[in-house]
A and B are shown apart, each in its own frame.
Chain A
Amino acid sequence: MGRNTAIKRYEPLPEGRPLDLFDSAEGRRPVVLDLLSTPWLTRASALVSPEDAGVGRRVCERVEVAWDAEERSPRGFVRDGRFQRVAGVVQTWAVDRRWWEPTAHVSRRCWRVLTEQGGTYDLAFDRVSGTWLLLGILD
């Protein structure tokens, strides 16, 4: 059915390499993405706050995001002066609540992304302010 294909394809390590699970970062990434996407596993950090799909550490920073128009998802973002390239989108969701209360209105499109550096971040485009926000950093 196309689920967890990377995990299924993962070959047990050949003998003599007991510690390294993966050959390279590229080899590791699809499996990590599968693990992050799978509904069967819940990380401890995700339990902290079920709101917004649960985030490890909640922040709310404005960030600069490079947009991939073809994929219709973020290509990367700048954090602490460094460009974080997105290696894959883990999940996407939308929030639109309390539009009738100007102060409580939330309207966002959110992406949970895995960066090439191996971090998992929640990015959101805030439709009310028209800005990109970094909402969460998952360990």
Chain B
Amino acid sequence: MTGGRTDSFVHLHVHSRFSFGDGAADLGGLIARAGELGMGALALTDHQGLYGAIRFYRAAREAGIRPILGTEVVVETAGIEGMEGDLPPRERLGRPASVGFGRASGSGFHLTLLVADISGYRNLCRLLSRAHVRSASEPSIVTRADLAELSGGLIGLSGCPNGEVGAAVSAGRMHRARTALTRLAACFAPGDFYVELMHLLTPASPHYIASLTSLAETCGLPVVATNNVHYLRAVDARLHDVLSAASARMSLPGPYERPNAELSLKSAAEMRRLFAAHPGACDATLEIAERCDLDLGLGEFHFPAADVPAGETARSLLGGLARAGLEERYRTPAARRAAHERLDHELAVIGDLGFPEYFLVVREIVEFARERGIRCSGRGSAGDSIVSHVLGITDADPIAHDLLFERFLNPARRQMPDIDVDFDSARRDEVIDFIYRRFGSEHVAMVATVNTMTARSAVRTVARAFGHPAAEINAFSRHLPWVGAHRLREALATYPECANHPLRDPRHERIVEIAEQLDSCPMHLGTHLGGFIITREPIDTWTPLQWAAKGVVVSQYDKDDVEALGLVKMDILGLRMHSAITETVELARARVGEAAVPEPFDLPHDDPRVYEAIARADTVGVFQLESSGQRNLNTRLRATRFDDIIAAISLFRPGPLEAEMITPFIRRRHGIEPVTVPHPGMATVLADSYGVIVYQEQVLLVARAVAGFDLAEADSLRRAMTRGRSRAEMAEIRAHFLERAFERGVSPEVAEEVFRQLEGFAAYGFNKAHAACFAVVSYASAWLKVNFPAEFAAAILNNEPMGFYTPRLVANDARRHDIEIRSPHVNESSARYTVENDGRAIRAGLRDVHEMSARLLAAIERERAVRPFRDLADFLRRTRADTAAASNLVRLGALDGLGVSEAGRSPTRDEMLAILPELKATLAREGEVADDVLVLAPGPVRPREDPAHVSGWLPARRLSAELELLGLSLTCHPLDLAEDDLRTRGVTFARDLRDLPDRARVRVCGVRERAQTPRTRSGRRTCFLTLEDATGLLDVVVFEDALARAGETIVKHRCYLIDGVLQNNHERGLAIVAEEVRPYVVRTSAGTPVRLRRGVPSGPMGPSLGGAGAPEEESWEAAG
């Protein structure tokens, strides 16, 4: 390898961006640069962890460079007895800045550790885990005792100038340096500890190196040269300065104030020149690299232990359980025969691949959920397997829907199977608890996610480092599209919403320049939503662990790393739709009886009312079918059977959209164009999709029908076509396909055409099994919406945030279904939304009221159980509600109609608000208020605006309060208030659009619900606006030319008046193509603007209202 050549050198102390703030080199760059410099090996020693280790290991090996894994840890002080603070001030060494990420960060002296072999890797994982998760409160520092116990297979280097030895030498405390060195070296086997020399080209460097070499000589330890690499080239020092300053929340120069830019990946010649007087220190790098020969055994699988009774094997147990399940799932003899045949095949493959334990473990978890009544369903390609189906993991029948096992598990490729299961999110924690109990907490950890920088975060990082004030930083990042940082300049130059962006000012050129270089830079480590690693051996021998911010133990590896290691990752995902479905069923059963509401997942998929509702796009809240694009597709597709729902879910996906499959599918479905296929075999296998290849499974079937591939071969062909292939590789695949087709007598033209279609669609097709699993949930939710609309809407509102729309729109949609939405009331509401008036009304819950606290909620429910509240004084006296919460409840009408004022009627909201402070003061003073206090009216209050309403408030004022404090419009839709003005302006309402002819010119007005600018094949930007007026939803398409004019208006305003052309035909569906977009402000008769969105953040009860949780800016600057 590096073989002791005197012109060679190996960098053994290297930080990448996975040092989170203290490293600017990306892994790919490091490996490429090491390759350019002819280095045969390279180490990665990020702070406090192995975050980037597995991806580095794989990439380096692929590049032919020996990867040396390691880390730079913070280690317990060794050179003195006791604490640093016990020393007299003049003798103390400066404590280095804190390093590492999150709760694994630590402050103290550094020590470099390198992995020599697999035992060293396991020891390092354990050492790091012990340091990080010893207890939630202790700092992340490696103790000397742990180091001594777990140093086998590790090579220690004394560290940088922030190591205790280096720091003591720099401070001239030679005795301390010597003590520290001796004690640290004693933790390692003889010959495994080196004194680390760094020539950082500072004026003090010669002194530093001379002192350390002398010390090493005295202690009889070898020396080794490193360069403490933090970036690739000198010019990248700027990036490093910015990252370290920003991560320390400081402005430049940041916490280190480095004197120069010498921490780059220098060539062997440069390193040897720097250490000309110590050639042995450079030679030592080669010796160490030779010793570090780690084989992680990638490609092997390590399953957790399934519970197999004595006398059984995992394989036999799985077979038994599957056959028993099959009897449950398939009731007719014919169906059972076909199912048995397929099951035997699948069991044989699963057994041969060695995966039975994995299936058993998944089944065990699903079984637990079912026993507890926790709704769950499998998703993804696992739906292609009948074993998953009969074990109860997935719900869609793979035989009925032509789902192919080989798409899930290809016997020709031994790949880790991946079964994802969604659980009722409200009860997911019970499942997680079970997993920890069943496998033991020392065998389970959560998977990490690495969050990387986008244009916005990169700009914020750089601007913060440059010391810009917060308001300016916000202005820089606001209105930037969600694109990668490398496209920042392009976005600023071409995106209409960036036309007046402050970053276009040449003074900020440097921010843009540096932000661009931070593209995809790891920013922080998150916790995967539901990914758990379960191991047979203790998990800390596989991966370093640490505390995540949310208080769970998380691996330092992400899902790809975990998969590469061959460990089992289980996705225990929480699906709020499951919670909503369960709650809808409970609410409905409470109203109409247990027997009247069947289990929605077991329904036959044959209710025409469900398909009609889907076809008219009445799908707000329906799983997977509610987005604006999906609703548009629903109207065009006009589903009549379950397979149509699968098609609808599959077609509205990035792949099929990009390959423009929708248009031929719809045209052929409605007979606008004929169904043509190049080969008769395709007609059969593509019959469901009218000759269009929509599903990945169909690629396999076509390859089988035309070229006679078996399904495993066909799946390999599909995978080969899917990945980015070179022209030569694709030519090889093509030749193979054609040859096989010719052998079957297929003519060259036909074979060529079939291959062209496969090539065109293989990469874009959607996994039918995944769509089929989702379609079961979609049908169940649509059925509930059709049959129990009030319960369904209440359940959706109770489980927010979920779905595509805000709670405001869900409530408005319910109102359009003739369900009354009632204001929260202290005598009627519970914490959650409830159904009243025999399913014709929904009562808003108190939980979502701004400033509501858990204490107050409990007090209201407790007191109300005794007797209803009589009036405001009674309410305050019994609940001790604070002024803010009480005032919000009054403003929302939660006390409307309670009490009697001196006018002989209920007090208005203004009257209650006026007396509230006095009541609170009396309560505070005397602990009691008299019942007649309302009679002692305070000073004059606003006269009643609306004598007809108990609140005394006009609808506009009530609405504003509702939107502000609850995020919902209970009284009416905001545009109801402007109905006359809109009519004057010639506006067409949503409900009337369907009756207008195609290509009619229309003017519409709506409040923005969503604005999306998805990637399109042409690369042009098109904005899809979902607006809502009082009568329904409006889908507006703003093409690039109109967007250039309207981009800023769309971003900065909430409500628009839009002129455009109506598109209303079977082929394209119902939408408005915008030509002009102008802002519109809803005003009261007094000219005051009416609020359109929630105006306050979530209260102490948490962000229960999705999309409405954050305060939103309201812009009143619109033209009238």
Contacts and interface: CB of A to CB of B under 8 A. Distances in A.
B259 A3 contact: no
B1022 interface: no
A3 B205 contact: no
Given A39-B211, A96-B260, A3 B277 contact: yes
B1039 to A, nearest CB: 42
A2 B278 contact: yes
Nearest to A40: B210
Most B CB within 10 A of own CB, among A1, A37, A54: A1
A3 B210 CA distance: 8
A55 B638 CA distance: 86
A128 to B, nearest CB: 13
A49 B969 CA distance: 71
A39 B278 contact: no
B210 A91 contact: no
A94 interface: yes
Interface string B240-277: 01000000000011000011111000000000010001
B942 interface: no
Contacts of B217: 1
Interface in A51-94: 52-54, 72, 91-94
A96 B256 CA distance: 13
A53 B203 contact: yes
B260 A1 contact: no
A80 B260 CA distance: 31
Interface string A87-127: 00001111111111000000100000000000000000000
A92 B201 CA distance: 7
Nearest to B207: A39
A68 to B, nearest CB: 13
B684 interface: no
A91 B203 contact: yes
Given A3-B213, A100-B252, A94 B273 contact: no
A127 B260 CA distance: 12
Contacts of A38: 210
Contacts of A53: 203
A61 B850 CA distance: 69
A96 B259 contact: yes
A1 B278 contact: yes
Interface in A23-57: 37-40, 50, 52-54
A39 B273 contact: no
Given A1-B217, A37-B206, A100-B466, A94 B260 contact: yes
Contact of B259 (A91, A97, A99): A97
B202 interface: yes
Contacts of B213: 1, 3
B214 to A, nearest CB: 8
Contacts of B115: none
A94 B263 CA distance: 11
B168 interface: no
Given A2-B278, A98-B253, A99-B238, A39 B203 contact: no
A40 B213 CA distance: 13
Contacts of B510: 100
A91 B206 contact: yes
B237 interface: yes
A110 to B, nearest CB: 8
Nearest to A71: B273
B251 to A, nearest CB: 9
A37 B262 CA distance: 21
Contacts of B262: 94
Contacts of A107: 261
A93 B210 contact: no
Contacts of B278: 1-2
A93 B277 contact: no
The size bracket of the interface on A is 20 to 34
A97 B277 CA distance: 28
B880 to A, nearest CB: 55
B259 A72 contact: no
B202 to A, nearest CB: 6
A106 B1063 CA distance: 63
A93 B260 CA distance: 9
B211 A93 contact: no
Contacts of A99: 237-238, 241
Nearest to A38: B210
Interface in B180-235: 201-203, 205-207, 210-211, 213-214, 217, 234
Given A39-B207, A39-B211, A93 B261 contact: no
A52 B253 contact: no
A100 B239 CA distance: 11
B278 to A, nearest CB: 7
Contacts of B207: 39
B201 A94 contact: yes
A72 B211 CA distance: 26
B888 to A, nearest CB: 47
Nearest to B211: A39
Contact of B202 (A3, A39, A93, A100): A93
Contact of B203 (A1, A3, A52, A97): A52
A3 B202 CA distance: 19
Nearest to A92: B201
A54 B466 CA distance: 30
Most B CB within 10 A of own CB, among A2, A37, A93, A99: A93
Contacts of B261: 94, 96, 107
B507 to A, nearest CB: 12
A5 B377 CA distance: 77
Contacts of A95: 259-260
Contact of A2 (B237, B238, B277): B277
A130 B553 CA distance: 53
B231 to A, nearest CB: 12
A50 B202 CA distance: 12
Interface string A122-139: 000000000000000000
Contacts of A1: 213-214, 217, 277-278
A92 B211 CA distance: 18
A40 B234 CA distance: 31
Interface in B753-812: none
B6 to A, nearest CB: 15
A130 to B, nearest CB: 16
Nearest to A110: B203
B205 A93 contact: yes
B167 to A, nearest CB: 17
Nearest to B238: A99
B839 to A, nearest CB: 65
A37 B203 CA distance: 11
Most A CB within 10 A of own CB, among B203, B206, B238, B252: B203
A39 B201 contact: no
A101 B854 CA distance: 52
A52 B213 CA distance: 24
A102 B214 CA distance: 42
Contact of A39 (B206, B234, B237, B259): B206
A36 to B, nearest CB: 10
Contacts of A37: 206
A54 B211 CA distance: 19
Contacts of B203: 50, 52-54, 91, 93
A39 B213 CA distance: 12
Contacts of A94: 201-202, 259-262
B252 A39 contact: no
Contacts of B202: 93-94
16 contacts: A92-B201, A93-B201, A93-B202, A93-B260, A94-B260, A94-B262, A95-B259, A96-B234, A96-B237, A96-B260, A97-B253, A99-B238, A99-B241, A100-B241, A100-B252, A100-B510
Given A94-B261, A95-B259, 8 more contacts: A1-B277, A3-B213, A39-B207, A91-B203, A96-B234, A97-B253, A99-B238, A99-B241
In the A-B complex, the 5 residue pairs with the smallest Cβ-Cβ separation, listed nearest first, are A53-B203, A39-B207, A94-B260, A96-B261, A96-B260
Interface of B: 201-203, 205-207, 210-211, 213-214, 217, 234, 237-238, 241, 252-253, 258-262, 273, 277-278, 466, 510
